[in-house]
A = this chain, B = another copy of it.
Amino acid sequence: MFYTDLSKEELETLKSELTLKYNDCKEKKLNLNMSRGKPAPDQVAVSFPVLNEIGMDSDLHAEDGTDCTNYGGLEGLSEARKMFADILSTTSDNVLVMGNSSLNIMFDQVSRGFTHGYNGNKPWYTYNKIKFLCPVPGYDRHFKVTEHFGIEMVNIPMNEDGPDMDMVEELVSSDDTVKGMWCVPKFSNPTGITYSEKVIDRLASLKPAAPDFRVFYDNAYCVHDLYEKTIELPDIIKKCKDAGNPDLVFEFSSTSKITFPGAGIACIASSESNLKEIKDHLKVQTIGHDKLNQLRHVRYFKNADGVRDHMKKHALFIRPKFEVVLEGLEKELAGTGAGKWTTPAGGYFISFDTLPGCASRVYELCKDAGVVLTGAGATFPYGKDPENSNLRIAPTYPTVDELKEATYVFALAVKIACIEKLLG
């Protein structure tokens, strides 16, 4: 039954029933958490063998003879560059492998725009105002980086196939203070949406008014498929080059959700010209990245196929978790009109939209019943969801049983908030 079809009396009655159930849940003093976008301990353990790959008796030289135990090198080990290049469907020359955090690489890249500017263009600090385009809902950490540098963020609606490219093209080509755009092209955080090839082509073919406009293309979930049938994105760097925009994109990735969150390796991929500029900064910034951790990783995986095989082990843990949440939502909410949600085939999140105005109420109801969600609004720049409707569900950390219970509470909260809203 569609809640909007119900009479006031029917809604009141339903609300009473749901509230009884909700209070029962509350009495259980639950302590559940669907806010953490990180793998569960048993899932992380599939990567523990990586730690045994190098030890005191290992040859600690890379394939080209580089001594990984001493200073030297800003590009990353050549075999690590090859591995990331294959994962990203690009070539080694377009990849630098760095430290443990792709977010840190993104931060540094924005920071370089701010302090020095790209490619001879003036530094962003010299502007009164610059802007970044932010497909929404999106990743709060991206938005925090741009906010940190005082960059104005412009919301771009997400469609089924990626960001609203009509709007993106219009803004990028007409406004030279638009300097960047955040993208998560595959299994986007939090919607799980993957950009269509058409959208990627349009991104690569943008005609920016600003010569220093860049697409910050966070390919965090490039191999994070849950099912046999995987999605392979085209090489955005080649597409940009072919479109006459060789320097348009900075692509990022990491093994944070392949091996160890916080102790993996990360990379940036871009044109050779952009990478040269980045290396000029790196020469000043650091004595180099941790080559031993790079070595540990490439010795374990051997190559991109090794990574893809490894991701199948992760999928065995995550798939049932996504499915139990999606089944619960379907069972409890299908046909009510109280909300809609995405059904991702990979990544780490499910995105849920309540009726406008209900997200913060759902968050509160869940919290009061012992179910922690990511705060309402977190998926929007400045933490402000103009519709107050989006919630991000992170199913990977709790157990399947916990998720079943948490989803039930969540659905109750959604229904109650919806009815409250309809009753006005």
B-binding residues in A (CB < 8 A): 38-39, 41, 44-45, 47-49, 51-52, 54-58, 60, 67-72, 99-101, 103-104, 107, 111, 114-115, 123, 125, 141, 144-145, 148-149, 256, 260-263, 281, 283-293
With a CB–CB cut-off of 8 A, which chain B residues contact A261?
A: 69-71, 287
A263 touches B287 (CB 8 A): no
B289 touches A262 (CB 8 A): yes
B41 touches A101 (CB 8 A): no
With a CB–CB cut-off of 8 A, which chain B residues contact A149?
A: 115
Residue of B nearest to A70 (CB): B261
A51 vs B58: C-alpha distance when bound (angstroms): 10
* Most chain B CB atoms below 10 A, which of A58, A123, A263, A283: A263
Q: A141-B287, A262-B292 are in contact. List 9 more A-B contacts (CB 8 A).
A: A48-B60, A51-B56, A51-B58, A71-B262, A99-B99, A101-B286, A123-B125, A145-B284, A262-B291
A148 vs B284: C-alpha distance when bound (angstroms): 7
In the complex, which of the residues B45, B111, B144 contacts A111, with contact meaning CB atoms closer than 8 Å? B111
B68 touches A285 (CB 8 A): no
With a CB–CB cut-off of 8 A, which chain B residues contact A71?
A: 38, 256, 261-262
In the complex, which of the residues B44, B104, B284, B289 contacts A70, with contact meaning CB atoms closer than 8 Å? B44
B107 touches A69 (CB 8 A): no
B125 touches A115 (CB 8 A): yes
Residue of B nearest to A49 (CB): B56
With a CB–CB cut-off of 8 A, which chain B residues contact A45?
A: 69
Residue of B nearest to A296 (CB): B51
With a CB–CB cut-off of 8 A, which chain B residues contact A100?
A: 99, 289-290
